[in-house]
Structure 1
Amino acid sequence: MRKLYRITAQGIIDTLAKTLSTNARASRLLEKLNLANPKWGSGDRNTVHRATYEILRWKNYYSFLSGHDETVDKKENLWSLLGVWLVINNLEVPDWEEFKSLKPKEIKARQKEKTTPERTKSIPSWLYERGKKELSREWNIELDALNIEAKLILRVNRIVTSPKKLQEELHSKYNIEALPIKGYEDALLINKRTNLRKKPLYLKGSFEIQDANSQKIGPFTDVKPGMNVIDGCAGAGGKTLHLASLMRNKGDIIALDVEENKLKELKKRARRNRVKIIKNIWVADAQYKESLSNWADRVLIDAPCSGLGTLKRNPDLKWKLTEERISEVIDLQRKILLEQSNWVKKGGKLIYVTCSILPSENQDQISWFLKQEAGKTFDLEKEETFFSHQTEYDGFYAARLIRR
């Protein structure tokens, strides 16, 4: 990128302002911005995407470099953050009124200064302290890993194709190099970012876009073809579809969620993936809950959580989280565990998963559950934390319990 145009700069500022002042995700706002500007070329879209995400990722640190208070998100300060982004990336700073007070030499000088971990790792002070308390020294290493942009990973849909065949087709049809990842049997790494959702191979269900550690959850459930399976917090169904693939389209999967629009999206994805064993039910319809008692060989609870393990792809999340929100999800996780554990048959397994790395949402919740009346018939079979600094992918926790 040689030059920043006014229209793309305004798009960056507007997206930042809406992201930081509303519950809207940056990814959704950027999608809408691209649709509203159909004449933008790939260079314009890439500039807006890159600048928006890097400013969100490094907001505290950029605020320090600009000399502003990191807690202030006024539009004039957002222009300063954009200016900092231009300076540290050695890009031309336009001669606009918004950049008149920008001092590139001072910004460069501040880059050599030492400051607090909350600024260098760009995270709210309260959240930094909480993570440090729960994870000790590992927290700083994990934050460094979570500040690296997420890689583009595909999950091969084995109902439709195989990893080797998909590799060959991506290369021959689109000149896209897809590399296998050791330890992730269905995953392919795409080194060069590209929009794959309009490609015929995607539209035919050959693959989904899914983080590598997210792909660990399906095999962790120890699911087998022919089983009765409940995905109790299915959302739009990324893990549900993986379970169906692992089951080779044999058995019965019930997908539940509190948001009906997400289940509608799952139905569309299931058709594209040629999945025939998923029965979608809106969880608000309580009539089904009693009939599910002792029905399932596997119950997967991909629980609502802080989402801290996904900061690589959702850097805006850290500015929206609050202590109150984490307390709320901890209470909700416990409620879901108590309810959905009742759906596991004797000898069946309950799998509890979060995309958080905080023990208070993970190990502590399992310890609490096993002490409750509903948890006394369960034994912890296996638990694992997938840290970003150890794997390069999203942070996850998974526990597998077996019902005696």
Structure 2
Amino acid sequence: MNNTMDNVNLRAVVLDILLENDKNPGHSNLITGQALSKFQYLPKSQRAFISRLAEGTIERRIEEDWLIDHVSSVSTKKMKPVIRNIMRMSAYQLKYMDSVPVSAVCNEAVKLARKRGFSSLTGFVNGVLRSLARDINNIQYPDKSDFIRYCMIRYSMPEYVVRILMDECGSCTEDVLKGFEKEHRLYIRCNTGLITPGGLKKKLTDEGVTVEDTCVPYAFAISGYDYLADLTSFEEGLFQVQDLSSILAGLAVNPNPGDYVVDVCAAPGGKCLHAAQRGSDITVEARDVSEAKVGLIRDNIERLHMDNVTAKVWDATVKDESLIGKADILICDVPCSGLGILGRKADIRYNASAEKTEALVELQRKILSVCSEYVRPGGYIIYSTCTINSAENEDNVDWFTANYPFETDSIEKDYPMLEKDSLAKGYVQLLPGIDNTDGFFIARLKKKDVE
């Protein structure tokens, strides 16, 4: 493929992303990002088309299969992978991309099928897509009386995830599902060690960026830029990209002067670097399991000019004897099922299962068990996840406080912008569609003084 935009078939790029995702599920963001990195010379609009069509097709595949199967004599499950993905991406365009003409959707699908060696199926592809284009707005979805089935198809969500959300969210389940579908904004946290929030806002505006305030005075939502890394304010380390829910988690970290803060699952460094800004004369140590992850932290430390943060490779499940009793505050943002960020990572929903949740809970409890020894009496663990699942959240807090010398500590004063009864109990569950954030759980656990 020559590096001229005239020779780049955007839908062929998307098809390759979809096929690669079939082979390596669970990494769609990475796969899409790697594909886009090869086409940085394309106009922003064309890169956005690739990204939207790839991620959208992956995210909505349950609904796409439902629509296709209503007009096709062959079910999507029985189609060859290339044809199935061509049909899915075409269904997504017909349903969600009104600016793309029906003729373009059908003709490009036929061309792709022929180019990939399926000339004998071009008539089938064309016929099914023409029928779908004609009937797409008349295809009936399951009735709400069958709520699980309705949510599965309407929101393209596997049954296991729908049942979890119903258990956790009750009557708010559909509001949460709608929240996942809202536009996913990019949030940044001002590096207050280098610039004031007002100064950053002005500098970004001068660079042509649209800046909007949030409930956190030094956090903003930004849009209207092309390459983030090309912004002078980014190069100068004046802000850190960090989702709003993650920034909110940092509000539970209240270091005193001289405190030693440790983040055991720190990559890419948002929470530990936020902590480093929240106190004077404090020391922060960031850890993660691999050199690659720690490399991301070090890159951010350098770019943000943070001289009170160090990073090292360490597996959080392995006890470090040298750290026992040393930490005043320990940040424990554990690996989780990610059910709170389904709107940002398209394929998490398809990789969730009861078995994986059980394994994650075991891992989370192992990390908490090890970390319990690192905190001095009177110190704190800030426990967080990006999921909506009490098995990984409240149940872990209950288990931990029942088996280790810790108690929950009220975070009510740290979150004046939230109205949640649980804050006084020391934890909070943020929900998409309700709190205008990702799904996120935050708890503060205080180590009891030695009797």
- What is the TM-score when the length of structure 2 is the normalising length? 0.82
Q: Whole-Å Cα distance in 1 between the matches of residues 13 and 353 of structure 2? A: 27
Deviations 1:98-127 (A, max 9, x none): 441212112222167746221111111122
Q: Residue 53 of structure 2 aligns to which amino acid in structure 1?
A: A
Correspondence list, 1:111-150, <5 A:
114=143, 116-150=150-184
Out of 200, 204, 210, the position equivalent to 1:177 is 210
Against the structure 1 CA distance between its residues 386 and 71, is the aligned structure 2 distance closer, same or farther, given a 3 Å change threshold? farther
2:433 corresponds in structure 1 to 389
Out of 261, 282, 285, the position equivalent to 1:229 is 261
1:376 aligns with 2:405: yes
1:27 corresponds in structure 2 to 29
1:77 corresponds in structure 2 to 84
8 A contact 1:345–1:403 mirrored in 2:
yes
1:87 corresponds in structure 2 to 94
Q: Mark the runs of 5 or more structure 1 residues left unpaired by the alignment.
A: none
1:37 corresponds in structure 2 to 39
Return the offset for 1:47: 0.5
1:187 corresponds in structure 2 to 219
Return the offset for 1:38: 4.3
Correspondence list, 1:310-321, <5 A:
310-321=341-352
Out of 157, 178, 184, the position equivalent to 2:191 is 157
SS in structure 1 of the partner of residue 182 of structure 2 = coil
1:254 corresponds in structure 2 to 285
Correspondence list, 1:208-223, <5 A:
208-223=240-255
Return the offset for 1:94: 4.2
8 A contact 2:408–2:446 mirrored in 1:
yes
Q: Whole-Å Cα distance in 2 between the matches of residues 203 and 131 of structure 1? A: 40
Moved more, 206-215 or 320-329: 320-329
1:106 aligns with 2:150: no
SS in structure 2 of the partner of residue 265 of structure 1 = helix
Correspondence list, 1:57-76, <5 A:
57-67=59-69, 74-76=81-83
Q: Whole-Å Cα distance in 2 between the matches of residues 377 and 45 of structure 1? A: 49
Against the structure 1 CA distance between its residues 287 and 17, is the aligned structure 2 distance closer, same or farther, given a 3 Å change threshold? closer
Against the structure 1 CA distance between its residues 288 and 330, is the aligned structure 2 distance closer, same or farther, given a 3 Å change threshold? closer
Return the offset for 1:326: 1.2
Deviations 1:229-274 (A, max 9, x none): 11011122111111112225x3211112112211111111101101
Return the offset for 1:287: 9.2
8 A contact 2:260–2:329 mirrored in 1:
yes
Q: Residue 205 of structure 2 aligns to which amino acid in structure 1?
A: H
Q: Residue 18 of structure 1 aligns to which amino acid in structure 2?
A: E
Q: Mark the runs of 5 or more structure 2 residues left unpaired by the alignment.
A: 1-5, 114-124, 144-148, 411-425
Q: Residue 447 of structure 2 aligns to which amino acid in structure 1?
A: R
Q: Whole-Å Cα distance in 2 between the matches of residues 43 and 400 of structure 1? A: 44
SS in structure 1 of the partner of residue 387 of structure 2 = coil
Q: Whole-Å Cα distance in 2 between the matches of residues 180 and 322 of structure 1? A: 37
Deviations 1:329-353 (A, max 9, x none): 1100111111101111111111110
8 A contact 2:142–2:150 mirrored in 1:
no
Q: Whole-Å Cα distance in 1 between the matches of residues 257 and 47 of structure 2? A: 43
Give the root-mean-square deviation of aligned CA atoms. 2.4
Q: Whole-Å Cα distance in 1 between the matches of residues 332 and 317 of structure 2? A: 17
Against the structure 1 CA distance between its residues 287 and 397, is the aligned structure 2 distance closer, same or farther, given a 3 Å change threshold? closer
8 A contact 2:406–2:445 mirrored in 1:
no
1:326 corresponds in structure 2 to 357
Structure exhibiting the larger radius of gyration computed from Cα positions: 2
8 A contact 2:379–2:446 mirrored in 1:
yes
Q: Residue 242 of structure 2 aligns to which amino acid in structure 1?
A: Q
8 A contact 1:20–1:320 mirrored in 2:
no
Q: How many residues align?
A: 396
SS in structure 2 of the partner of residue 189 of structure 1 = strand
Q: Whole-Å Cα distance in 1 between the matches of residues 205 and 8 of structure 2? A: 37
1:336 aligns with 2:367: yes
Q: Residue 27 of structure 1 aligns to which amino acid in structure 2?
A: N
Return the offset for 1:379: 4.2
8 A contact 1:59–1:70 mirrored in 2:
no
Against the structure 1 CA distance between its residues 72 and 244, is the aligned structure 2 distance closer, same or farther, given a 3 Å change threshold? farther
Against the structure 1 CA distance between its residues 155 and 70, is the aligned structure 2 distance closer, same or farther, given a 3 Å change threshold? farther
Return the offset for 1:11: 0.9
2:312 corresponds in structure 1 to 281
Q: Residue 179 of structure 1 aligns to which amino acid in structure 2?
A: E
Moved more, 17-26 or 57-66: 17-26
Against the structure 1 CA distance between its residues 180 and 71, is the aligned structure 2 distance closer, same or farther, given a 3 Å change threshold? farther
8 A contact 1:65–1:111 mirrored in 2:
no
Q: Residue 135 of structure 2 aligns to which amino acid in structure 1?
A: E
Return the offset for 1:42: 1.7
1:271 aligns with 2:278: no
Q: Residue 209 of structure 2 aligns to which amino acid in structure 1?
A: I
- What is the TM-score when the length of structure 1 is the normalising length? 0.91
Q: Residue 394 of structure 1 aligns to which amino acid in structure 2?
A: D
Return the offset for 1:159: 1.2
1:168 aligns with 2:202: yes
Identity among equivalent positions (%) equals: 23
